[in-house]
Amino acid sequence: MQTKRSYIDGVQPEAELLKEGAEWLRAGELVAFPTETVYGLGANALNDLACAKIFEVKGRPQDNPLIVHVCNRAMANRLVEAWTPVAELCVQHFWPGPLTLVLPKTAIVSNVVTAGLPNVAIRMPSHPVALRLIEAAGLPIAAPSANLSGKPSPTSGSHVWRDMKGKIPLILDAGACQVGVESTVLDVSGGVPTILRPGGISKEQLESILGEIQVDNPSECQVPKAPGMKYRHYAPRGELILMIGSTERIVQRMGNEIHRGHSRLKKVGVLCTLESAPFLHNRLPDLLFVLGSKEHLEEVASNLFEGLRLCDERGMDVILAEGVKEGGLGTAIMNRLQKAAGQRIQYVL
Ligand code: TXA
Ligand code: MG
């Protein structure tokens, strides 16, 4: 398949490009589009065949449900059987934005989208291209992140191009995504609201409006409530080691690991904070990527997937990643890094 990559204005998207995207979506085809978190791979959420293509193109396990994106409340109402007071509060305070709500589904939402679950995950994105595209299509749009399964989520049009070229008819490219980590998935279907996946809206932000909430911790219960959380999202070709500790100790340990890697003829890449970078240059890693400042975790979040992808593209055998402090956006950043590291986490306190 020929893939067209159209550059679109992220603030005032061109009407004719939106129209083209909407036509493909209405015809049951897939369109990649930017959201404020990561790029999405969109399909008409009410068309099972179109949604099945998403799983095929991504190589996504069938038991991992899709988030449905809407552009207004009326559209959301068609998908949700019963709104809870907590869900209403979330809509008021966090939509449009990087918060996905899990609520009981209506009959029009098919089992292909929810992977057979009784609840549907819905979100109203804030990116103008996403909102206007859904509006132009006049349809709710099912969209996972627009990467191949097992790769980091795409945060730029180039990432999508590399993963989706030849597989879908259209990529709407509006450049880099602002947030850089995926939305927070929050179960508000009843009982205590529960975070199923940490993301762009922090637990602290949610608690300031909702009071105390819970976090689904898949290591404690056997089956995570968000099926996607059981997959090791990003399995880099290289071995990723996550290091947690003070700048001083991290620099020292990374220096040792770089030396060890080189003596085994391995290429060693480093993903670190702005604060550690000046001390790591002279340790001569094969790639040094600065994620951003410890004091500005929104920088780290927005650069994270770019850094991970770059390490693979440049053929790093070992990837040393510096952890950040948990809390706020730090929780989502650490969640993604921990998944990429698997069991390889070193505490260098
Ligand atoms: O920011 C985002 O959320 C991006 C953009 C494109 O909107 N989308 C995204 O989708 O990250 P995806 O498919 O990569 O991740 C969706 C997560 C998975 O962990 C999935 O298991 C969970 O949401 N999920 C989807 N529907 C669910 C449901 N009905 N109940 C529980 N979890 C659900
Ligand atoms: Mg994903």
Q: pLDDT by residue (tens digit) across 166-182?
A: 999 999 999 999 999 99
**From 202-211, 224-233, 245-254, 321-330, the region with the lowest mean pLDDT:** 224-233
Pocket test for ligand 1, best of 62, 63, 67, 80 (most atoms within 8 A of CB): 67
- What Rg value do the Cα atoms of the chain yield, rounded? 20
**pLDDT tens-digit map of 58-111:** 999 999 999 999 999 999 999 999 999 999 999 999 999 999 999 999 999 999
Q: 293: which 2 tokens?
A: 């400042």
Q: 272: which 2 tokens?
A: 């670190």
Query: Which residues does a 6 A CB cutoff place in the pocket of ligand 1?
Result: 35, 37-38, 40, 64-67, 98, 100, 102, 114, 117, 119-121, 123, 143-145, 182-183, 185, 196-197, 225-229
Q: Are residues 146 and 26 in the same domain?
A: yes
Q: Distance (Å, rounded) from C-alpha 79 to C-alpha 91?
A: 15
> Does 202 map to a domain?
no
Single-letter amino acid code for the residue at 195: I
CA distances from residue 70 to 43, 88, 119, 131, 320 in whole angstroms, order as listed: 12, 15, 16, 8, 39
Q: Are residues 162 and 300 in the same domain?
A: no
- Closest ligand to 122 CA? 1
Query: What confidence tier does 228 reach under pLDDT thresholds 50, 70, 90?
Result: confident
Provide the 8-state DSSP code for 165.
Answer: T
Q: Among 164, 179, 194, give the residue marking a domain's end.
A: 179
Query: How many other C-beta atoms lie within 10 A of the C-beta of residue 297?
Result: 23
Sole residue written with tokens 């940490």? 198
Provide the 8-state DSSP code for 6.
Answer: E
Which CATH number is 103's domain given? Answer: 3.90.870.10
Q: Distance (Å, rounded) from C-alpha 310 to C-alpha 291?
A: 12
Q: Among residues 10, 67, 305, 87, which one has the least CA distance to residue 183?
A: 67
Domain tally for the chain?
2
Domain boundaries, position 318: 239-348
Query: How many other C-beta atoms lie within 10 A of the C-beta of residue 46?
Result: 18
